[in-house]
Structures are given as C-alpha cells and as structure tokens.
Amino acid sequence: MKKFILFILLMFSIFSCFRKKTPPKNIESWLELHFPGQFEVLVSNLKMLDVMAQFKGEKLALVAEKSDSEVQFLLDWQKGADSLGLSPEQVKQKLEVAKTYVVAARELFKLLKDKGLERFSVGVIDQAAYIQVFLEPAPVARKQTLEIVKAVLDSRPEQPQTSIFLELMEASSYQSEFKDIIPRGHWKTGMAWQEKNKIMALDFEWGKTLKLSELMRHWEINAVAKRSSQYDALARQQANEWAEKNLPKPFFMPSNRPYTTEVLEMDEPAIAFGFPFYDQKLPEEPSITRPGAKGVCCRDLLV
C-alpha cells in the first residue's frame, strides 16, 4: 500500500513538471515572474482615458525600483499578447536609463545646495533639468534664485542638461508630493498638483553667453495656479474702483459673467483682467455692454 501511494505521488510530480504554466496576464505578475521582488507597479495603466488604447489592449505602466523608489520608468505593454509584448532585456535597458536620470538629478541637487539654494527639488529627463524652488516669487527672490542656478550651470565643465525649466512653487507645498528628487512618474500622475502649485516659471536653453538681466525679463505667471482666485478678487475690486470714477451711473458688473485674462510681457510679469460692465441689471443673457470695459493688472501681487 505504501509503495502504491508513493507511486501515485511520483506520477503527480512528473505530470506537474509537464503541465504548461499559465502565462502572466498583467504587468505585476509578469515583472514578478522575471524580476522577483525587484519592482513595484505604481500605476498599471496610464492610458485608462484613451478609448482607442483600451479597445486595442494597449497599456502604459509606471514602475519603480523597490530598493530606490525615485528610480522610475514607463513600460508599454499589451493585454493578451505573448509575454505582454515585453522582454526582460527591454526592462533592463529602461531601468539603466532611469538610474542615470536619478544620478544626474542628485548630482545637480548637490551642486545647487552647496551654492546656497534652499527648499528645492530637482528632476532630470534626457537633456532637460527641472528645478522647483518653493518660495514667494518676489523680485529679489527670483533674482537670487536665478543667480544661483546660472552660476551652477556655468561652473560645470560639461553640461549634460541644456534645457532648463526653473519653477517657483507654493512654499506650503514643499516636499508634500516628493522629496529632493522629482521622480519620473510625477510628470504623468502629478500634473494637477503641478499646475495648482506652480506660481511662476522660467524656461530657457542654457548658454554661457546668456545674461542674467535678459533672463529676468522672461519669467511667466501661471494664470491657473490656485492663488489665481486671489488675483481675481483684487482685480475685481480695482475694476469696481475704476468704474466708480469713470462710468456714468448706474452701472453693473455681475460676478457670474465671464471675464478675460491675459498674461502680459512687461519688465515684470503681470496678468491683465477684463471685466464686462453693463448699463442695467441683466436677464439670463447679457444684452447691453458698456464699451471699453477696463482691464486690471495685478502685477503688484508679485512685485
């Protein structure tokens, strides 16, 4: 009887060796099969809102290395395809590139910190360097920040990053989304946070011949930042004050009517607001508009 039981167990063991393994059906199981314990899938499909991609089974995953979560890369994979359309060699190549980005970002971070920059984060992708500084963007602060950044860039014997994206962020958002290094995935999953907290930006191609005074003229305001409601309130107040002095009575400036905004190129960046004024209280649709409604510039919020 014992021999019979041993024989049955042996046969089960042999058959299990020949049984075809079920291929991985998602990116998590595929990575665990080929790279056990090495990666974490942060988002399995960044194409969820792409109807055609969903129809075709095309996916885009955001993957991080478990031993260093700032090392992140993107993987295209195909639902239902053999091996999900992936190969271990492809993953290894993407991992190595991601590691070079993080190494470059950490090197640039150290140079900027040693030069005196404070409360900032750095990211690198290809030839681009992203430097986010978390402070109030007064003229003196903008000038000091740009002086440090340009001095560091000019001092490097080689310039691996030439496209520079310098962004001034809400001070209260410092290290709320990431730490010293801006991970690759931020630009895929954190854009709502980015637009909400970015106050001003200066994008430029590096060159030693660039003059600081010229660069200072090209700061741009982010008109959709969360503090834009502050701009709106102050501009509306100034518009009312202007109307009181310049328009015949009665006049009306409804708060529920559309208004215009425009980012102006001036010696200092500014936003112009245009509010409509009316001769009478309006029905559901506006009918009479006072010509020459006054645009209001909120430059003083930043300078």
Q: What is the pLDDT of residue 296?
A: 40
Q: What is the pLDDT of residue 268?
A: 66
Does 86 have pLDDT greater than 90?
A: yes
Extract the tokens encoding 76.
Answer: 């295209």
199-255 per-position pLDDT tens digit: 999 999 998 889 998 898 888 888 788 887 777 788 888 888 888 888 888 888 887
126-148 per-position pLDDT tens digit: 999 999 999 998 889 999 999 99
132-188 per-position pLDDT tens digit: 999 998 889 999 999 999 999 999 988 889 999 999 999 999 999 999 999 999 999
Give burial (CB, 10 Å; 0-12/13-18/19+) of 210. Answer: middle
Angstrom distance (rounded) from CA 148 to CA 155: 11
Question: Per-residue pLDDT averaged across 55-81, rounded?
Answer: 94
Q: What is the pLDDT of residue 144?
A: 96
CB 180 within 8 A of CB 122: yes
Q: Kindly report which listed range (39-48, 70-79, 144-153, 238-247) carries the lowest average pLDDT score.
A: 238-247
DSSP state of 228: H
| More confidently predicted of 264 and 56 | 56
Mean pLDDT, the chain, whole residue set: 85
Q: How many CA atoms lie within 13 A of 177 on its CB side?
A: 27
87-129 per-position pLDDT tens digit: 999 999 999 999 999 999 999 999 999 999 999 999 999 999 9
Per-residue pLDDT band for 263 (boundaries 50, 70, 90) equals low
Does 282 have pLDDT greater than 80?
A: no
Q: What is the pLDDT of residue 28?
A: 97
